[in-house]
């Protein structure tokens, strides 16, 4: 699980890459290109907090090169302050990841680099 505090200066528009969470999650309803609010569930965190997932949908992300990509099967979790991208869920969909020189790289099924992130102290 990824945890943080406000004092660490995290960007609320960014995503945490998390190997411990089972699915992608965000509290930002305005980010969803489509959202099925009929699918509801509970999300339990490592500190025993439970938040309600009020739907599942697709988020479109703008890439640095101007293109777009989408993240599917994202839970809308009411009250969630961080955005979690599940590396496990990506690996289940035949994405691959590589960690070297303190940089995590994620590749799609065609071996195109889709994400690159430096490791942080948190």
Q: Which domains does the chain have, with CATH numbers?
A: 16-118 (2.40.70.10)
The model's pLDDT over 100-116, given as tens digits with 9 standing for 90+, comes to 998 989 888 888 888 88
The model's pLDDT over 4-46, given as tens digits with 9 standing for 90+, comes to 334 444 556 788 888 888 899 999 999 999 999 999 999 888 8
| C-alpha of 78 from chain center | 15
Q: Angle at Cα 94 formed by Cα 91 and Cα 96, nearest 5°?
A: 60
Nearest residue to 52 (alpha-carbon basis) of 86, 76, 84 = 76
Token pair recorded at residue 112: 């195109």
Helix (H, G, I), strand (E, B) or coil at 2: coil
């Amino acid at each position: 699980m990824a945890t943080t505090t406000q004092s660490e200066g995290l960007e609320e528009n960014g995503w945490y890459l998390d190997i411990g969470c089972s699915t992608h999650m965000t509290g930002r309803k305005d980010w969803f290109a489509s959202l099925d609010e009929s699918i509801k569930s509970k999300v339990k965190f490592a500190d025993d907090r439970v938040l309600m997932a009020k739907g599942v949908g697709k988020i479109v992300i703008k890439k640095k090169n101007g293109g777009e990509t989408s993240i599917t099967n994202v839970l809308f979790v009411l009250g969630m302050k961080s955005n979690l991208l599940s590396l496990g869920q990506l690996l289940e969909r035949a994405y691959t990841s590589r960690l070297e020189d303190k940089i995590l790289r994620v590749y799609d099924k065609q071996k195109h680099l889709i994400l690159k992130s430096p490791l942080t102290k948190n």
